[in-house]
Amino acid sequence: MEDIRVRIAPSPSGNLHIGTARTALFNYLYAKKTGGKFVLRIEDTDLERSNAEYTQNIFDSLKALGLQWDEGPDVGGEFGPYYQSERFDIYPKYAQILVDKGYAYECFCTPEELEAEKEEAMKNHKAYVYSRKCMNLSEEEKAALRAKGIKPSIRFKVEHKELIFNDLVKGELKFDTNLIGDFVIMKSNGTPTYNFAVVIDDMMMKISHIIRGEDHISNTPKQILIYEALGAEVPKFGHLGMILAPDRSKLSKRHGATAVSDFVKQGYLTDALINFVALLGWSPSDGVEIKTVEEIAKDFRIHDVSSSNSIFEYDKLNWMNGQYIKKMDISKLTEMTVPFLAKYDLNNMSRENLEKMIEITREPITTLNQLEYDCAYFFGQDVDYTEGLETLKKEEASLVLNRLLELMNGWDFNSDEHIHDKLADFRAEFKEKHNMKPKETMWIVRAAITGRTRGADMAKTMTILGKDVCTHRVKQALEV
């Protein structure tokens, strides 16, 4: 059986995009399913756009998602270096091999000459392919051009044929190489083009399967031709459908977060995020959607990945994230929520009460950043009555609150159960004596103590706040 080796090769010109994360995930899943290796390579040859901060973001985001690579810039491996910028001395050697074999040639055309060729093709309503005017230059002609200070690029000579390959996702794909034309593999400044560098890197790193977005399909025939010219084994290709926004346009920031780190900042759990991303173009065989990465890897089947585009449904992600929040160990969840409560002084709250607060507020939330608002009334002496004002204006409110003040003085605020029972008695009293519905009585109590008309379990809320704060707020509400 062949050694399965897959890779993810992001460019550090921005934070890790959710689409790149999906590509990384599918490569990772395929490696885990087949017992293969998952390689990380950083394609930082665009030195102007590449940034060390973005490289670190790629590392951090992939690790946060649980996608640990077997070989890469920080962990090493026998096929390094894994930064493309550290491999510049490799590419000219292979370009020269292609020139020596007759598969490539020097091109001295200036940008102006090439632009004129393109304009001529457009004028004649033809698809542009390079004219090959430099292919048969003599050594004397080349020397004369060099003497003028013109540095040549190197072009790959494309033989005319029908190129066919079997895509792991999309099935059989055919290309007419007549439409490609001789393409540049080394620029005149000595740097490799993307299609050349990626082939040399993948070939030297013994990558067996290349799973990537379908926007790379147009690159595939060029890359296959280079593999064949070098006498190298052509890897198997699989092209994933695009991820589109709910309006079926390209997913962008106007739709919401697009970088993994942005989702994390908004309070999405990485376990939920990676689970959701796995379902963009793939379905579990048992129909159960909520699964760990390990469970997904055991079930993963590359041939069952949809070749169609996937819709990034934020509503579904929110639902799934909410499910993870509900099920997470409360101690672990509390640790994760602390950064989202940074505006509050948590030093005044015991760990026990902090966990209890998260436990009773997590039910309706879908992202952790919602806790900043949902937990606001647990902090400080006073409370904002904007939301509960209409409830407190009801004529029976003062009757309810004055009676509550009388009774609370004798309640044990160290016991949730005690407060729960006392509130039940309180509701029953007002139903019997004043014919008030229990929920109407509790709306007034809640509005007075939290400023809200809905929220967490009232008995537990009161024990977290304590007798002094509850008494202060009821008195404050009476003044309102």
Q: Tokens for 135?
A: 């292919």
Q: Tokens for 316?
A: 């579904």
Q: Tokens for 62?
A: 């992939």
**Furthest C-alpha separation in the chain:** 111
The one-letter amino acid at 409: N
Q: To 5 degrees, how large is the angle CA 436–CA 439–CA 444?
A: 80
Q: Which backbone phi and psi does 50 adopt, to 5 degrees?
A: -75, 145
CB atoms within 10 A of CB 404: 24
| Nearest-angstrom CA–CA distance, 2 and 294 | 23
Q: Which residues contact 102 (CB under 8 A, 6 or more apart)?
A: 157
Handedness of CA 457, 463, 465, 468 (dihedral sign): positive
Strand partners, 419: none
| CA distances, 371 to each of 334, 340, 380 (Å) | 11, 7, 16
Q: Which residues contact 449 (CB under 8 A, 6 or more apart)?
A: 377, 383, 458, 461, 462, 465, 470, 473, 474, 477
* Kind of pairing between the strands at 171-176 and 162-167: antiparallel
| Nearest-angstrom CA–CA distance, 153 and 136 | 15
Burial 300-323 (b: 16+ CB within 10 A, else e): bebeebeeeebebeeeebbebbbb
Strand partners, 183: 156
| Nearest-angstrom CA–CA distance, 186 and 191 | 6
| Nearest-angstrom CA–CA distance, 55 and 338 | 27
Q: Tokens for 373?
A: 């608002």
- Catalytic, 253? Answer yes
DSSP state of 159: P
* Kind of pairing between the strands at 209-213 and 162-167: unpaired
Q: Which residues contact 71 (CB under 8 A, 6 or more apart)?
A: 37, 38, 39, 40, 77, 78, 79, 80, 82, 205
Determine which one of 253, 394, 433, 437 is catalytic: 253
- E strands, 92-144, are 104-107
Residues classed as catalytic: 253
